[in-house]
Amino acid sequence: MVHMKNQTQVPDVSGLTVMNMEGDVVQLESLWKSRQIVLTFLRHFG
């Protein structure tokens, strides 16, 4: 497991929203307030 120790590497995501698995819009940062997560972005080409 890799932990980012240098905060300059972490982009500011406050205020960003995403859709959860149920299709509800949630604050991105709320996903890790009570637990650790693995955040992965996938880009669809095509």
pLDDT at 37: 84
CB 26 within 8 A of CB 18: yes
pTM for the structure as a whole:
0.51
pLDDT tens digit sequence for 1-46:
556 666 566 677 788 898 888 999 999 888 888 888 888 878 877 7
pLDDT at 27: 92
pLDDT at 26: 93
| Cα gap 4→13, rounded to integer Å | 15
User: Which is it for the CA torsion 17, 29, 15, 44, positive or negative?
Assistant: negative
- What's the gap between Cα 30 and its chain centre? 9
| Cα gap 30→23, rounded to integer Å | 15
CB 16 within 8 A of CB 28: yes
